[in-house]
Chain A
Amino acid sequence: MSKTIIMTGNTAAATAARLCRVQVIAAYPITPQTSVTETLSQYVESGELPAQYVRVESEHSAMTVCISASTVGARAFTSTSSHGLLYMHEQLHWAAGSRLPIVMCCVNRGVGAPWSIFNDQQDSIAQRDTGWIQLYCRNNQEIIDTVIQAYRIAEEVYAPVMVCYDGFVLSHTMMPVAVPQADMVDSYLSPYRPHTILSPDNVRNINPVMFAVLRKNSAGVLCDGYMEMRYKLQEALEKAREVIVEAGRKYSELTGRDYREMLWSYQDKDAEIILTGMGSIASEATVAVDMLREAGIKAGVVGIRVYRPFPRAEVQKALGKAKAIIVLEKDISYGYEGALCSDIKAALYGTAINAPLHNIVAGLGGRDVKASEICEAVKKSLAEMKGQESRFKTHWLNCRQ
C-alpha cells in the first residue's frame, strides 16, 4: 500500500524523481525550485538514491548535462523556474530536437523585469514552442503522480516532458500526498532505452549541420533533412496524446487516482458556464464554482492537464454545451491575450461552438487569486456577454488600471 505523507510540492517532485530511480541530476538553484534539487542532493548524499548529482554553474549547463546523460542512456532529471528556465531556452530546443526523454519540473514563477520571485506561468508558457510536452499540476498529489507518468510518456514518445506547477502556491505548501511504493513505480516504468545506442563500433556524429535540401549519405540513403526532422518531432507530439492517455489509464489502474483524461472536470455535467485554466488557478476555480452555484449560476470547471500536445478534440467535447466560457490564466501574450485563451479559441474554430468567451488574466507575479474574486469576475463577464460587442474580451483580475 502507498503511504500518505504531508509534504510540500517540491518534496513531492523530489520524491517522484527518487522513485523513478533517476540516474543523473544536474541543477542550479533558483527560487522557488531550489528545494526540489536540494532534497535530491540529500537523497544522493545519503545513498538513498544511487545517482550522479552534477553541480553546474548555470541552468544552461544543467540542461546540457541532462542532454549528454540522456543521449548515452541515463534517465536524467532537472528542475528550474523563471529566469533559470529562460536561460535554458536554447538547450530546451536541443533536448527536443535530439528527441531525448528528459523530465524537468518547472516550478512556475513570474519573469522580470521587474524582478518577482512569486508565481505566475509566464515562464513555462514562454517555452511553449520548444517541442517539450507540457503537463500542469493542480495539487501536490498530482505533482508526484505526474512526474512518474512523465518518464513513461517521455521514454515512449522520445520527447522531453516539462512538469509545471505553481511556485509557492504548491511548491512550498504542505498537503497530504499518497506516495506510491517503489515496486509499483518499478513495474510502471520500463528501463530507459535510448533511441540510438552509441558505441565505438558504430560511430555517429549527432546533430550534424543540415542543409535545406535532402542529402544522400555514404550508404546511398536519402537522409531526412532539417525540415523532415522538424516534421518527425511534430508528428511525435501529435501522437503523444495517445501515449499520455494510455500512461494515465495505466497509472489510474495502479493507484486508483484518476488520470484517464488530458482534462479534468468539476461540476461540468449540467454546467452552462465553463471555467477553464491550468494548474492551481483552475483548482481555485472549483471553489468559485461552488459559490456561483449557491448564487444559482450553473457553472463548472474543465481543467487543462496537458497543454502540449494541446487536447483539441477533448476541449471541443468538454466545452460543447457551454453557453459561456471563461479562460483563467496566469500569463499574457503581450499585444494579444492569454496564450491558453488563444489555443482554446483556435480549438473551437470551425465547430458549432460559438459561445461568448472571456479571458481573465490573473495572479501575475504572485498576486493573490481568491475564489470570491473569480466568482465576482465571472458574474461581471456574464453580465457583459449579453452585449454583442463584449462577447470576447480580456479582463485583468484585481489589477489597478
Chain B
Amino acid sequence: MEKKDENISAMSTVAVGEAGRTGDWRDLKPVINHSKCIPTVKNKAACYLCWLYCPEGVIKTGIPVEIDMDYCKGCGICAEECPAKAISMVPEGDNDE
C-alpha cells in the first residue's frame, strides 16, 4: 500500500532529495573540461574551489571532480570561481559534454 503523509502541517526532514530532484530547476549546466581542471592536471588533491563555493554541496572532491547533476541547480558559481576556467555553463539540452 502507498505510504500516506500523516503530517497535519508541512514538514520535511534533513535528507538528500527531501525536496525532490532540484536539478530539475536547472537552466544552464556546468560542464568540466578535465584537461584544464587542476586536480586532474596535477593528479593530486588540489584547488577544489568549486567544492568550497558550491552553495548546494553537490560537488565531490576527487580525481576527477564530479558534480551531482540530480541536485545541481545550475547557478554557475563553480564556473565563476574556477581559477583554471575549466568549467563552462552550457544550456540544458545541449549534448556537448
> Would you list which residues of chain A between 91 and 117 have a CB under 8 Å from chain B?
97-99
A229 and B3 in contact (CB under 8 A), knowing A215-B20, A218-B16, A218-B17? no
Q: Contact at A208–B11, with CB atoms within 8 Å?
A: yes
Q: Contact at B8–A236, with CB atoms within 8 Å?
A: yes
Q: Pull 28 A–B residue pairs with CB atoms less than 8 Å apart, ordered by A.
A: A98-B9, A196-B7, A196-B11, A203-B14, A204-B11, A204-B13, A205-B12, A205-B14, A205-B18, A206-B9, A206-B10, A207-B9, A207-B11, A209-B19, A210-B10, A215-B20, A217-B12, A217-B17, A217-B18, A218-B13, A218-B17, A218-B18, A222-B2, A223-B5, A223-B7, A224-B5, A224-B7, A229-B10
| A-B pair number, CB within 8 angstroms | 68
Contacts of A232 in B (CB 8 A): 8
Q: Does A172 contact B (CB under 8 A)?
A: no
Task: With both chains docked as a complex, state the minimum distance between the C-beta of A13 and any C-beta of chain B, in angstroms.
Answer: 27
Chain A contact patch, size range: 20 to 34
Residues of B within 8 A of A (CB-CB), count: 18
Contacts of A208 in B (CB 8 A): 10-12, 19
Task: With both chains docked as a complex, state the minimum distance between the C-beta of B6 and any C-beta of chain A, in angstroms.
Answer: 9
Chain A facing B: main interface SS: loop
> Would you list which residues of chain A between 219 and 252 have a CB under 8 Å from chain B?
219-224, 226, 228-229, 232, 236
Contacts of B18 in A (CB 8 A): 205, 217-218
CA distance A203 to B12 in the complex (A): 9
Contacts of A195 in B (CB 8 A): 8-9
8 smallest CB-CB distances across A and B, nearest first, come from A218-B15, A215-B20, A221-B3, A218-B17, A223-B5, A205-B12, A99-B9, A218-B18
Q: Contact at B4–A203, with CB atoms within 8 Å?
A: no
CA distance A205 to B7 in the complex (A): 12
